[in-house]
Amino acid sequence: MESWIGLMSGTSMDGIDAVLVSFPHNTVQIHASQTVPYPDQIRHRILAASQNQATPDEIGELDTLVGKLFAQAAEEVIQASGFNRATIVGIGSHGQTIRHQPSGTAPFSTQIGNPSVVSEITKITTVADFRRRDLAAGGQGAPLVPAFHKAFFSSDSENRCILNLGGIANITWLPASPLVPVTGFDTGPANALMDAWCMDQTGLPFDSDGHWAGEGSVNRDLLDDMLSDAYFPRVPPKSTGKERFNLEWVKTLVSRHPGTPPEDIQRTLLQLTVSSIARQLPESTDLRIYVCGGGARNPLLIRELAEAVPHARLSLTSELGIDPQMVEPVAFAWLAKQTIEGRPGNLPDVTGAAGFRILGAIYPA
Per-residue pLDDT reduced to its tens digit, 27-79: 999 999 999 999 999 999 999 999 999 999 999 999 999 999 999 999 999 99
Give me the pLDDT at residue 180, please: 93
Give me the pLDDT at residue 286, please: 82
Cis amide linkage into residue 178, ω under 30° from 0: no
CB distance 111 to 99 below 8 Å: no
| DSSP output for 218-231 | --HHHHHHHHTSTT
CB distance 28 to 322 below 8 Å: yes
Per-residue pLDDT reduced to its tens digit, 213-247: 999 999 999 999 999 999 999 999 999 999 999 99
Mean pLDDT of 307-323: 95
**What's the mean per-residue pLDDT of the chain?**
97
Give the predicted TM-score (pTM) of the model.
Answer: 0.96
Reduced to 3 states (helix: H, G, I; strand: E, B; else coil), residue 363 is strand
Question: Hey, what amino acid is at 285?
Answer: T
What's the DSSP call for residue 285?
S
Give me the pLDDT at residue 95, please: 98
Q: Is 235 buried (19+), middle (13-18) or exposed (0-12) by CB count in 10 A?
A: exposed
Give me the pLDDT at residue 343, please: 98
- Residue closest to 229 by CA, chosen among 246, 210, 214: 246
End-to-end CA distance of the chain: 19
